[in-house]
A and B are shown apart, each in its own frame.
Chain A
Amino acid sequence: MFRAHVLVCGGTGCVSSGSAKLIDLFKEEIEKQGLKDEVAVVQTGCHGLCAMGPIVVVYPDATFYAMVKEENVSEIVEEHLLKGRVVSHLVYKEESDAGENVKSLNDTDFYKKQTRVALRNCGVINPENIDEYIGMRGYEALGKVLTEMQPEDVIDTILKSGLRGRGGAGFPTGQKWKLARELVQDGGQKYVCCNADEGDPGAFMDRSVLEGDPHVVLEAMAIAGYAIGASQGYIYVRAEYPIAVERLKIAIGQAKEYGLLGENIFESGFSFDIDLRLGAGAFVCGEETALMTSIEGKRGEPRPRPPFPAVSGLYQRPTILNNVETWANIPQIILNGADWFASMGTEKSKGTKVFALGGKINNTGLVEIPMGTTLREVVEDIGGGVPNGKKFKAAQTGGPSGGCIPAEHFDVPIDYDNLTAIGSMMGSGGLIVMDEDNCMVDIAKFFLEFTVDESCGKCVPCRIGTKRMYEILDRITKGQGTLKDLDRLQELAAHIKDNALCGLGQTAPNPILSTLQYFHDEYVAHVVDKKCPAKVCRGLLTYTIIPEKCRGCTKCARNCPVRCISGTVKEVHTIDQEQCIKCGACMANCPFDAIVKE
């Protein structure tokens, strides 16, 4: 038994800020102080508050140290672990309480409003040790299912819980399983797949679950295997997530060793095996039919549905595919019952949802909230608001398939149906906050550039339609757009929505449609006034020198790459607007702040 545990975050964010080195240093220091048998150092998964990384939490009192540096380690070990005095100047402080109180992790605003179901073990257990997962009731749900429940009961429980797919579209999970069990009953192979090809830029929920609690996915897939009658599972995971891949490999190895995967699990006669398949960087492979084609080793192109994968999926056999976060809910539903899960959330969206908060927000990181929480609570209370005193402009959800939600919808309860109704979508959980310095036309263009790049090219509406929309947006941001272009965008968007083959194309117009709806004035400013109100679109900017402030130091003229600034020493300089390429070099170099952009 150890009297204290030092938990060092090993999520990608904290590893990038140097947490791996901290673990070695803690071990070294603890040994040096002779505490080796009293204090354990544990590498955990993501704690969520990535902006404050590297994060170190000392239990049993859950003291939350933030932005820990290598030179802080000896102090924490000597003061806190040896002498029992919390090192208060290193403890995470919230702006709200002026840094006076030392709160434990769970009392901070960031964690207080969260409800952790999918993330319950993330940041709590060592993901590379199966015993710690088992200690948190891990694999108990699988045991219960195999020894006490019929496959139909399992499906019933999931159906009753109201769990909907967390990948974004929100299809009822139990329904999917039911179809895969009942539609084909020829005794042949069926498959269970996990979609861990998290591709939305700015979303890292699934990565954190895989890194922080990999066994939960394995357990849930085995449960589904039993429910639908499958003996083989595949996890399709992004190769860009090396830590997640490594921990999944370790987890699969340990589960096989313990007999929790493989032949005749719990002596029940049920056998289930899981293999990993690495994605290779194609966003479209997040679409279910494309993902299955990719597992088969082909170009990951989607195909028309029906037939749905429940009838003919991987290798033309019945297949279910669920996303990582969906899987992470399953064992808890089995253990605590459908009613427990259904008691959280809104009428049609049950349970919780994990969001990756990013962009212009103080507490960048991972949060899990009950469905029905408002955007305001997420952004202001949990996220700590927009930094640098800037004004909130929009929140983007659903990645390239979603839309921008303006401040006027700040109090809408977040659930699948509400987000769709206001022109965005739940998506997999990326939530990017934008402030007044972000141009919404530029953001729409950014997402369209992404879709153009990631369109697989199989169907015409997506391949050519998204390209045309991108070109129009590009024209607008360069000041060459007309009001007619805005109509063209609307028209094209409608066609693409109706005619594209898969979800990628059908939702590609959403970033444009939502910004056109809520930020129409900004588009008009670009095409009519030829101005970019957020001062982002380079082609619409003008740099001018304020005569009163210019001292004639010539620095701007010397730094101008196209030599379009004229003036002699100690005289006011001027910029030739015809030749200016709007690079901003003059403004960056002016020592007197005499240059403005408009």
Chain B
Amino acid sequence: MSAAIPAPAQLPFQGTAEQEQQLRALIEEKRDDKGALMPILQGAQEIYGYLPVEVQKIIAEEMDVPLEKVYGVSTFYSQFSLTPKGKHQISVCLGTACYVKGSGLVLDKLKERLEIDSGECTPDREFSLDACRCVGACGLAPVMTIGDDVYGRLTVDQVDGILEKYKQQPHA
């Protein structure tokens, strides 16, 4: 998997005591379920927005499994991110239907404008960019999502205007 070698964590861990409390409660609740590690990782990512090594360590200790196992699972699945996500999470669909209609060009444009690669987050943590698999809205191809907003039938020319909208809203 491409996520096997995560980018060096340039952005420092900023977890709060409250988040840690939530995480420990989650582990307590699920600990005895069969195959609990995945649901716990999914829950942890919901709490922190990503799975930094600090969080993985807590999970490994609490569940009494080696850290390498936790790391192995977190890096195997593309849904798990080891780098933080931006306030505005951009996903460009690279499913076949979107790709044949030019979503690759949209992604290139976003990379150029945000000056980050896909899978990365801007240093001010405003935007993060991902190429995703089919979101299933093939009728609207090419599609990208920013947070919960869906943009369909995109063209490269629209990218700047759309980004501008999010730059202007400080509290989204």
Q: Which residues of A contact B (CB under 8 A)?
A: 12-13, 16-17, 49-53, 199-204, 207, 239-241, 277-283, 294-301, 315, 356, 358-360, 364-365, 396, 399, 430, 432, 434, 438, 443, 446, 453-457
Contacts and interface: CB of A to CB of B under 8 A. Distances in A.
A80 B156 CA distance: 40
Given A50-B137, A202-B95, A297 B35 contact: yes
Contacts of B143: 16
Given A201-B94, A434-B100, A278 B38 contact: yes
Q: Give the bracket for the number of chain B residues in contact with chain A.
A: 35 or more
A201 B95 CA distance: 4
A22 to B, nearest CB: 15
Contact of B139 (A239, A282, A365): A365
A457 B76 CA distance: 10
Contact of B133 (A281, A297, A315): A281
Interface stretch (B10-18, B77-85, B162-170): B77-85
A316 to B, nearest CB: 12
Contacts of A434: 100
Contacts of A278: 38-39, 42
B66 interface: no
Contacts of A282: 1, 76-78
A240 B135 contact: yes
B4 interface: yes
Given A12-B135, A16-B150, A201 B4 contact: no
A363 to B, nearest CB: 9
Contacts of B95: 201-202
B97 to A, nearest CB: 3
Contacts of B141: 358-359, 364
A240 B152 contact: no
5 tightest A-B contacts by CB?
A50-B139, A358-B97, A280-B77, A297-B35, A202-B96
A285 B1 CA distance: 12
Nearest to B76: A299
Contact of B136 (A12, A298, A300, A456): A12
A533 to B, nearest CB: 16
Given A51-B139, A364-B139, A453 B132 contact: no
A280 B140 contact: no
B162 to A, nearest CB: 15
B79 A281 contact: yes
B76 A201 contact: no
A214 to B, nearest CB: 16
B72 interface: yes
Given A239-B42, A456-B1, A201 B134 contact: yes
Contacts of B99: 201, 446
B38 A280 contact: yes
B55 interface: no
Interface in B89-134: 94-101, 132-134
Contact of A359 (B100, B133, B150): B100
B137 A299 contact: no
Contact of A280 (B36, B78, B100): B78
Nearest to B2: A453
Given A199-B133, A201-B99, A281-B79, A457 B38 contact: no
A42 B91 CA distance: 31
A16 B137 contact: yes
B80 A202 contact: no
Interface of B: 1-2, 4, 34-39, 41-42, 72-73, 76-80, 94-101, 132-141, 143, 150, 152
A283 to B, nearest CB: 8
A12 B42 contact: no
A358 B35 contact: no
A403 B42 CA distance: 35
A281 B41 CA distance: 13
8 contacts: A52-B139, A202-B97, A277-B39, A296-B35, A364-B141, A446-B96, A453-B2, A457-B4
Contacts of B152: 16-17
Contacts of A457: 1, 4
B54 to A, nearest CB: 20
Contact of B80 (A200, A280, A300, A360): A280
A358 B139 CA distance: 7
A296 B77 contact: no
A358 B96 contact: yes
A278 B46 CA distance: 14
Contact of A201 (B72, B80, B133, B150): B133
B95 to A, nearest CB: 4
Given A50-B138, A202-B95, A203-B134, A456 B36 contact: no
A358 B98 CA distance: 9
Most buried by B among A52, A204, A278, A315: A204
Given A50-B138, A432-B96, A280 B79 contact: yes
A297 B35 CA distance: 4
Nearest to A204: B136
Contacts of A295: 35
Nearest to B150: A16
Contacts of A16: 137, 140, 143, 150, 152
B151 to A, nearest CB: 9
B41 to A, nearest CB: 8
Nearest to A295: B35
Nearest to A447: B96
A12 B96 contact: no
Most buried by A among B4, B34, B94, B136: B136
A12 B137 contact: yes
A49 B140 CA distance: 11
Contacts of A203: 134
B138 A202 contact: yes
